[in-house]
A and B are shown apart, each in its own frame.
Chain A
Amino acid sequence: MGSPRHHAEAGEFNQWRFFMELRRSDIILSRLAAGPSILLLFVWMAVPLAMTIYFSFLNYNLLEPGMEQWTGFLNYEFFFSDPAFGQALFNTLAMVGMIIVFSVVLGLLTAVLLNQDFWGRGLTRVLAISPFFIMPTVSALLWKNMLMHPVSGFFAWLFSAVNLEPIDWLSDFPLGSIIMMITWQWIPFAALILLTSLQSLDESQVEAAKIDGAGPIRMFLYITVPHLMRSVVVVVLIESIFLLTIFAEIFVTTGGGPGLETTNIAFLVYSQALLQFDVGGAAAGGVVAVILANIVAIFLMRMIGKNLD
């Protein structure tokens, strides 16, 4: 064994080998340390998922206890042939995609603005990130009633103030309204992470570009945006985790309607399970939702996997 200094110079890998040799018992210790988290998450995921898969092959309705029987893929057939499925799938993807795009773009603009030097900047930051702390149920009720109400809402007043016909937001543009409302909740999150990233921008690089005569727009496109890419990936990842399962906002405002226009997969499964008591059908929907999430996850993991190094 060489000296630690020698190993440190030989690079990180050797340095680790040095440590491992030094304390072999640590390996056992580290297994013990990581164990509980991994075991708990495994149980948390595997047990209910196994039950869901099992239920999805049963004709199982809470209103008919004791009548459960094996039905093969019947629940899946019903779920896929239900026109609600296609609509819910579209709505889910539309919500995730649009909210991510809007919140990242608007969050980036907010972050760039809040990164400038101006009077009262600290206070504006506190104001601007506030929507992030608001619980979804509150924000949904607030938007539905005080802002979007077609007669007495604030937007209705704004529209009539400029002589426009007030819009009945949640009836005429239900999906758009939900997207708008949830985008508002996520702008601060995107802005926060992008702002942190902006602040870590290398000043010397900016100065060099300035001396080379780059204008503000070119500098933004060729220096700032590439620097921010890592953070954008993180924002997209975290947001999609939360947005794939939007529930409370729909539950409180539209109840999935009018018709099925704001029903996403999460809400569809919920209404099957807890409103129609069709456990088998809901379980099939749940399995489909898990598969969908996994497809999205694979794409995201490809992106984020590089970020872990």
Chain B
Amino acid sequence: MTNNKNYQKTLFTFTGWFVSLLLFFPIFWMIHTSFKTELDAFSMPPSFFFFDATLENYGIVQERSNYFHFSMNSVILSFGSTFLGLLIAIPAALAMAFRPSKRTRGTLLWILSTKMMPPVGVLVPLYLIFRDFKLLDTRIGLTLVLMMINLPIIVWMLYTYFKEVPHPLLEAARLDGANLWQEIRHVLVPITFGGIASTFLLSVIFAWNEAFWTLNLTASDAAPLTAFIASYSSPEGLFWAKLSAASTMAVAPILMFGWFSQRQLVQGMTFGAVK
């Protein structure tokens, strides 16, 4: 019996690692290529171990385009839009979860349906509005757009967490004479903190990787890392090692952010599907 168990565990260890490494392989290959010379990057068969590892690609990328500028924009846009979004969404989700009316369900579905509107449907008008209000290529304009893009998901996720809060707990707080603010601060926030945190994480990730509006509404001043990378997609810029270095630089912050917050993210990402 124990032998059988051990055998099973070995088998799962093997397949588990195999599948995970398979899924991770493209990312590994990108990071790997970024340390090669351009010659090695193109070589056939590919060089796995025996190549001259170099950091020069990173230097060249930094020289060619100001990485710091783009990554700063990415940080400002994704965190800014997320904070703004939470600020507006938390009260709305609270109200809908704790004071549901006949229309709450319809309202929620409608909120989610706005997310389904394809951005191309409103690209031209929004472009013209942005042009007229001088918001094109500004951080403030793009922050607002990203906030609106993620708002439906934020509201919906928060709603599913708030709805799970046991009512007797709130009742007890009320009977103890807590006012609304105290109730939120001492009962709601501690209970739903995990949910809010994971909503926050997901919104940052979505905003960081958003590539429709960031490509179409920015040129240089407010351009985040999605645009930084798109500039390497042109044929004349096709050097794999440098492309890999640029790509690695573009995803490294969010990848590490995701890795460190992985546990929190996984716990919270149920969208109300898990009771």
Contacts and interface: CB of A to CB of B under 8 A. Distances in A.
Interface of A: 4, 8, 12, 15-16, 19-20, 22, 26-27, 29-38, 40-41, 44-45, 47-49, 51-52, 55, 109-110, 113-114, 116-121, 124-143, 145-147, 151-152, 154, 156-157, 161, 184, 187-188, 192-193, 195-197, 200, 230-231, 233-234, 237-238, 240-241, 244-245, 247-248, 251-252, 265-266, 269-270, 273-274, 279, 282-283, 285-287, 289-290, 292-294, 296-297, 300-301, 304-305, 307-308
Interface string B218-255: 00000001100110110000101001100100110011
A283 B127 CA distance: 12
A301 B254 CA distance: 31
Contacts of B1: none
Contact of A110 (B19, B120, B232): B19
Interface string B121-163: 1111110110000000000000000001001110100000000
Interface of B: 9, 12-13, 15-17, 19-21, 23-24, 26-27, 29-30, 33, 42-46, 88-89, 91-92, 94-96, 98-100, 105, 107-109, 111-126, 128-129, 148, 151-153, 155, 167-168, 171, 174-175, 180, 205, 208-209, 211-212, 215-216, 225-226, 229-230, 232-233, 238, 240, 243-244, 247, 250-251, 254-255, 257-259, 262, 265-267, 269-275
Contact of B119 (A16, A238, A245): A245
B29 A133 contact: no
Interface of B is mostly: helix
A168 to B, nearest CB: 15
B121 A147 contact: no
Given A142-B247, A245-B212, A269-B120, A231 B89 contact: no
Contacts of A16: 100
Nearest to A244: B118
A45 B111 CA distance: 10
B121 A55 contact: no
Contacts of B42: 152
15 contacts: A19-B174, A30-B99, A32-B91, A36-B91, A36-B92, A49-B125, A118-B12, A125-B262, A131-B26, A138-B247, A141-B229, A247-B211, A248-B230, A294-B116, A308-B272
Interface centre among B96, B113, B155, B167 (most CB of A within 10 A): B113
A10 B215 CA distance: 55
Given A252-B230, A270-B120, A286-B122, A128 B12 contact: no
B171 A197 contact: no
